[in-house]
């Protein structure tokens, strides 16, 4: 494969050709379960249902997701939420269709799966009401899997955090309780700045909700958040307890 400094279009074609030829080599062969779908320095993480694996490359194991010198609240709200998110993907609208060996197989009881579908529709309907720009709304059906993972990820990370000494303590740092710092860390990992034009395209094409709703959306459903910041009826984004969606 040849790459030239002054031939962007030709470089893209060459890379796509190389990727195609690489994929063709795997036809009619057993999948290589040791292969990653990302590079080690990439800031990302993913769940691969066909291998039932979670990959967390080195790139994401740095601030603001993880800091070896940070307290538990910061790390559990950061990389802890990401790990919980990927775990939940094994049981979202797509991951739920794969068994423990990575095969597409129905392992649910009929009753459980019906309830799961009903809860999934609640997530779709709720997120479809969230406004992004003017009259532009989150695409609830497109983003349902990621929204499930965000909600489940926060619950998993919080439960793990509460098992730590700091999670069971009430000592404040910088004026914030451990629980408050946990939730502030969740908000911090999704800080982004985008142009409206980018966001309009993102809404139509990306299976993730915009960053703001990756924070506000799941936290509106999470009672410990209400307790940590004393969120009351009449406060923005308040939801009565019976309207807080919980799948996992």
Positions annotated as catalytic residues are: 86, 150
Q: Which long-range contacts (CB under 8 A, 24 or more apart) does 96-99 make?
A: 97/49, 98/49, 98/50, 98/52
Helix H, strand E, coil C: the string for 154-216 is: HHHHHHHHCCCCHHHCCCCECCECHHHHHHHHHHHHCCCCCCHHHHHHHHHHCCCCCHHHHHH
Kindly report the length of the chain.
Answer: 248
Structure tokens at 95: 């991951």
Spatial neighbors of 70 by CB under 8 A, at least 6 apart, are 63, 78
């Amino acid at each position: 494969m040849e790459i030239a400094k002054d031939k962007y279009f030709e470089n893209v074609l060459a890379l796509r050709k190389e990727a195609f030829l690489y994929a063709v080599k795997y036809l009619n062969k057993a999948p290589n379960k040791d292969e990653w779908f990302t590079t080690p320095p990439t800031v990302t993480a993913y769940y691969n249902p066909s291998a039932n694996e979670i990959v967390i490359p080195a790139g994401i194991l740095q601030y603001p997701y993880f800091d070896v010198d940070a307290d538990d609240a910061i790390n559990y709200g950061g990389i802890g939420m990401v790990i919980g998110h990927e775990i939940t993907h094994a049981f979202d609208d797509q991951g739920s269709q794969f068994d423990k060996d990575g095969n597409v197989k129905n392992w649910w009881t009929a009753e459980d799966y019906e309830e799961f579908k009903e809860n999934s529709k609640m997530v779709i309907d709720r997120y479809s009401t969230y406004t992004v720009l003017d009259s532009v709304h989150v695409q609830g059906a497109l983003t349902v899997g990621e929204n499930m993972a965000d909600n489940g990820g926060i619950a998993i990370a919080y439960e793990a955090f509460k098992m730590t000494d700091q999670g069971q303590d009430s000592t404040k740092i910088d004026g914030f309780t451990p629980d408050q710092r946990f939730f502030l860390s969740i908000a911090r990992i999704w800080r982004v700045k985008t142009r409206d034009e980018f966001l309009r395209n993102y809404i139509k094409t990306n299976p993730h909700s915009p960053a703001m709703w990756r924070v506000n959306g799941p936290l509106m459903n999470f009672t410990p958040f209400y307790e940590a910041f004393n969120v009351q009826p009449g406060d923005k984004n308040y939801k009565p307890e019976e309207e807080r969606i919980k799948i996992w």
